[in-house]
């Protein structure tokens, strides 16, 4: 690439930023993540500082916020709506505190009003004589758009304040946002109609507020939380701040008593040292909140101190957005590789130029299947947006089309298995392509054996993934049954395997032969037969040969077994090589105790439905479920009017709330343990 002159680069930045502004503010369809926009804007401002001659009146740096849409009338805010400065790290946050203390000339404890930073749109609501008369977007901070009709449709915004003892004019500032659940529903509807979904809840909220037809807005389920006050005074324009409390937090409570919604997470912190903990706590609970946030906003609580600190440019010196690490970043797709899973599914994996996103460095992301590659229209060499939210595995969100290099390469799906060269096949009803090699395929073999030995299956202590791969690569084993034929002498020939470890592994294999029917069924790795289904099959049929001989119809009588799973089970036992492995395993001495059939009086929880939620600390969720079921209880995944008991562990979320709503009895983990102890 040739080096651009500063002038050329500034022109390029103008063009790019203007384009991104248009996509973001007018189309509500951004094509790059916020961090990229921020980087370009920062670069432009720096260049303009170095070369003041390049700072023109039409530079995008000269206006913040969106251009007003033509169709809405304009509103000049009686007091400007300020913007917020950002910090991204604890160091930057501490530097902010230090600056404030220096300005205030005191290092005394400073109380903060701490709020989540809602990812929505800032608006100003104007009440005259307690009646909502006007609502406007923030716009550029001085002039916004009149969106009164749309705001009136938001259910949580009062059209009339609850108290008549208010100043003639009261402006309330806050954030309009779309709750996560409403966003999901809206996007699902969009997909069904073939419309383009919104990139995130903020764009959806923006798109909904910019409807010229407020009937559309009314259907969108928007919400609002107040975060400060604007002008307070009389109609002649005289400010009457004496009506307001002298604490920011108390002002929000004043608004609350007037009927304006206040975010329930807002806290008054007694001193600055509690801010970091607040930030961390909100970050930890981010996924459990019903609305999207992108950080916290921390505000000096004392209004006198706020006034003493004043403003820089358009941002107050007394407030700071302490933002979470960006969840979306740009990087380059360097290659696509194909992995073969346990059931032969061939998964395209994106190899990415490493990028820091959502708090970790990401260099791989799954591309799921062929349909996903088609949906993304992705090519190798493309610049892509990567998203990593919470503990969810990184996803490729989209391709930045205008950054495609001429050298970009088509992604070619293999027609044969990249590991065993067997042909691949795609079932009509599935999106995935599979290797047809079965246990001939080294990859499937490895995965099948890893699964067989894993903790929830036969739980072979000390047989890790790497060791399985080594054993298969050395041709020492080909099936799970071969594991039990390994001798300590053979094992000790492996690299990094001493006599002691070899003996230990052989002992672990002997111990693993004693199992349960449920674990054995699960260990076979039949497609879509997870732990719960395996346990249901064992309870229902009681013996392996009964399951092996069952028809699709008979299998469907089992809880959780539908047509697809029933067919997978029949297919599995119809394959000769699978039957051979099962026979071989039994010949190696795998065994399990007979399942006791409990009589009705041994099943005291028959007819009762339980739901488990949150984290249990003394037993696993699966264990709890199996033990409740053994006592005759039904264990369901969701709370409804038919639920008898909800067992709520740590960090129980929406299910607990729903149970409380419905008046369903709630048990603690200790209650559950006592219940099991009583009946088992």
Query: Is 417 one of the binding residues for ligand D41 (CB under 6 A)?
Result: no
The first and second tokens of residue 148, run together, are: 């009164």
- The C-alpha atoms of residue 468 and residue 582 are separated, in whole angstroms, by 19
Residues β-bridged to residue 315 = 312
Cα 642 from chain centroid? 29
Q: Which is nearer to ligand D41, 115 or 482 (CB)?
A: 115
| 659 near ligand D41, rule: CB under 6 A | no
How many residues of this chain interact with ligand D41, rule: CB under 6 A? 15
Please say which residue, 135 or 585, places its beta carbon nearer to ligand D41: 135
Q: Report if residue 171 touches ligand D41, rule: CB under 6 A.
A: no
Can you tell me which of 36, 115, 328, 447 binds ligand D41, judged by CB under 6 A? 115
Within positions 520 to 549, which residues make up the interface with ligand D41, using CB under 6 A? none
Q: 291 or 484, CB closer to ligand D41?
A: 291
Residue 484 as a binder of ligand D41 (CB under 6 A): the answer is: no
Instruction: Based on the shown chain and the rule CB under 6 A, indicate whether residue 117 belongs to the binding site for ligand D41.
Output: yes
The reply to whether 316 sits near ligand D41 by the rule CB under 6 A is: yes
Q: For ligand D41, which is the closer residue by CB, 228 or 536?
A: 228
Region at 268 (left for phi over 0; alpha for psi -120 to 50; beta for the rest): beta
- Asked whether 173 and 227 are in contact (CB, 8 A), the reply is yes
Instruction: Decide whether 82 or 384 has the Cβ nearer to ligand D41.
Output: 82
Using CB under 6 A, pick the residue from 118, 169, 275, 467 that binds ligand D41. Answer: 118
Interface region with ligand D41, contact rule CB under 6 A, candidates 113-121, 342-350, 367-375, 593-601: 113-121
Q: Which residue has the tokens 């003892």?
A: 165
Sequence-ordered alpha helix ranges (H) in 224-293 = 248-257, 275-285
Does 228 contact ligand D41 by CB under 6 A? yes
Instruction: Choose one: 114-122, 129-137, 381-389, 550-558; the region binding ligand D41 (CB under 6 A).
Output: 114-122
For residue 138, the minimal CB distance to ligand D41 (Å) is 6
Q: Is 112 in the site for ligand D41 (CB under 6 A)?
A: no
**What track of x and - describes contact with ligand D41 for positions 63 through 92 (by CB under 6 A)?**
-------------------xxx--------
> Exposed e or buried b for every residue in 639-650, given b needs 16+ CB within 10 A?
beeebebbbbbe
Distance separating alpha carbons of residues 625 and 622, to the nearest angstrom: 5
* Chain residues 136-165 in contact with ligand D41, contact rule CB under 6 A: 138
C-beta of 154: minimal distance to ligand D41 in Å?
A: 16
Upper half-sphere CA count for residue 593 (Cβ side, 13 Å): 3
Contact 302, 119 (CB under 8 A): no
Residue with tokens 């009964």: 546
Whose CA is closest to 136, among 158, 152, 116, 119?
Answer: 152
- What is the SS3 assignment for 252? helix
| Closest to ligand D41 by CB, 176 or 630 | 176
Partners of 452 in the beta sheet? none
Contact window for ligand D41 (CB under 6 A) among 111-119, 451-459, 592-600, 629-637:
111-119
The answer to whether 162 and 261 have CB atoms below 8 angstroms apart is no
Assigned token pair, 385: 């947006």
Per CB under 6 A, 672 contacts ligand D41: no
Residue 451 binding ligand D41, by CB under 6 A = no
Shortest distance in whole angstroms from residue 117 CB to ligand D41:
5
> Minimum distance between the CB of residue 274 and ligand D41, rounded to whole angstroms?
17
117, 299, 450, 519: which one is catalytic? Answer: 117
Rounded (5°) CA angle 526-527-529: 70
Task: Scan residues 248-307 and list those touching ligand D41 (CB under 6 A).
Answer: 297, 299
Which of 84/349 has CB closer to ligand D41?
A: 84
Q: What tokens were used for 515?
A: 């199992």
Least Å from the CB of residue 311 to ligand D41: 9
Q: Does 175 bind ligand D41 (CB under 6 A)?
A: yes
Q: Which is nearer to ligand D41, 321 or 472 (CB)?
A: 321
Q: Does 645 bind ligand D41 (CB under 6 A)?
A: no
Q: Dihedral, CA atoms, 280, 282, 283, 287, nearest 10 degrees?
A: 150
Identify how many contiguous H helices and E strands the chain contains and give both numbers.
24, 26
Distances from the Cα of 407 to the Cαs of 214, 314, 375, 404, 650, in angstroms? Answer: 47, 44, 21, 8, 52
**How far apart (Å, rounded) are the C-alpha atoms in residues 319 and 100?**
10
In this chain, which of 113, 122, 611, 630 binds ligand D41, going by CB under 6 A? 122
Among this protein's residues, is 625 annotated catalytic? no
Q: Which is nearer to ligand D41, 318 or 338 (CB)?
A: 318
Element (H, E) at 138: none
Q: How far is CA 95 from CA 326, 487, 680, in A?
A: 21, 63, 59
Please give the residue ranges that form the binding site for ligand D41 (CB under 6 A). 82-84, 115, 117-118, 122, 138, 175, 227-228, 297, 299, 316, 319
Mind telling me the catalytic residues?
Answer: 117
């Amino acid at each position: 690439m040739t080096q651009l002159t500063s002038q050329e680069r500034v022109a390029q930045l103008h063009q790019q930023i203007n384009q991104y502004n248009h996509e973001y503010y007018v189309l509500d369809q951004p094509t790059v993540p916020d961090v990229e926009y921020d980087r370009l804007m920062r670069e432009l401002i720096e260049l303009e500082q170095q070369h003041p001659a390049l700072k023109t009146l039409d530079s995008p740096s000269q206006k913040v916020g969106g251009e007003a849409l033509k169709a809405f009338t304009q509103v000049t805010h009686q007091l400007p709506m300020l913007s917020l400065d950002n910090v991204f790290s604890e160091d930057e946050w501490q530097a902010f505190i230090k600056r404030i203390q220096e300005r205030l000339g005191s290092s005394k404890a400073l109380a903060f009003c701490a709020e989540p930073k809602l990812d929505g749109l800032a608006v100003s609501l104007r009440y005259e004589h307690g009646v909502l008369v006007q609502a406007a977007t923030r716009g550029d901070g001085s002039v916004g758009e009149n969106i009164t009709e749309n705001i009136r449709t938001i259910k949580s915004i009062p059209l009339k304040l609850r108290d008549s003892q208010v100043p003639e004019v009261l402006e309330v500032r806050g954030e309009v946002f779309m709750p996560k659940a409403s966003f999901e529903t809206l996007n699902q509807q969009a997909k069904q109609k073939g419309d383009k979904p919104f990139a995130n809840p903020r764009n959806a909220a923006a798109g909904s507020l910019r409807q010229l037809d407020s009937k559309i807005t009314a259907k969108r389920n928007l919400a609002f939380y107040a975060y400060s006050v604007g002008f307070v005074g009389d109609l002649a324009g005289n400010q009457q701040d004496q009506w307001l409390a002298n604490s920011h937090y108390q002002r929000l409570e004043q608004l609350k008593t007037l009927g304006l919604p206040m975010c329930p997470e807002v806290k008054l912190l007694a001193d600055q040292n509690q801010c970091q903990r607040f930030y961390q706590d909100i970050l930890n609970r981010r996924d459990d909140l019903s609305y999207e946030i992108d950080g916290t906003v921390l505000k000096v609580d004392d209004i006198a101190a706020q006034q003493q600190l004043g403003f820089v440019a358009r941002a107050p010196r007394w407030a700071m957005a302490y933002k979470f690490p960006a969840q979306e970043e740009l990087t380059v797709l360097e290659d696509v590789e194909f992995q073969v899973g346990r059931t032969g599914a061939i998964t395209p994996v994106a190899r990415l130029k490493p990028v820091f996103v959502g708090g970790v460095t990401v260099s791989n992301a799954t591309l799921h299947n062929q349909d996903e590659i088609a949906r993304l229209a992705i090519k190798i060499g493309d610049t892509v947006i990567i998203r990593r939210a919470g503990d969810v595995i990184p996803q490729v969100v989209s391709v930045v089309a205008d950054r495609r290099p001429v050298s970009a390469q088509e992604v070619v799906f293999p027609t044969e298995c990249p590991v065993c060269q067997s042909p691949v096949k795609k079932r009509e009803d599935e999106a995935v392509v599979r290797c047809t090699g079965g246990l001939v395929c080294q990859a499937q073999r490895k995965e099948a054996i890893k699964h067989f030995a894993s903790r929830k299956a036969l739980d072979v202590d000390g047989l890790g993934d790497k060791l399985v791969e080594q054993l298969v690569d050395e041709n020492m084993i080909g099936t799970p049954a071969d594991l039990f034929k390994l001798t300590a002498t053979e094992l000790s020939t492996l690299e990094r395997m001493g006599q002691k470890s070899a003996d230990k592994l052989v002992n672990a294999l002997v111990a693993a032969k004693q199992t349960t029917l449920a674990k054995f069924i699960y260990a076979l790795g039949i497609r879509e037969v997870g732990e719960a289904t395996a346990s249901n099959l064992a309870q229902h049929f009681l013996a392996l040969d009964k399951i092996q001989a069952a028809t699709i119809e008979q299998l469907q009588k089992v809880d959780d077994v539908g047509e697809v799973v029933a067919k997978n089970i029949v297919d599995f036992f119809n394959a000769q090589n699978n039957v051979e492995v099962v026979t071989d395993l039994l010949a190696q001495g795998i065994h399990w105790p007979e399942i006791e059939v409990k009589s009705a009086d041994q099943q005291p929880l028959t007819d009762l439905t339980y739901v488990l939620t949150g984290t249990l600390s003394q037993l696993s969720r699966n264990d709890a479920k199996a033990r409740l079921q053994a006592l005759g209880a039904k264990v369901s995944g969701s709370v409804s009017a038919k639920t008898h008991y909800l067992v709520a562990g740590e960090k129980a979320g929406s299910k607990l709330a729903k149970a409380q709503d419905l008046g369903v009895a709630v048990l603690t983990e200790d209650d559950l343990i006592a219940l099991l102890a009583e009946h088992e």
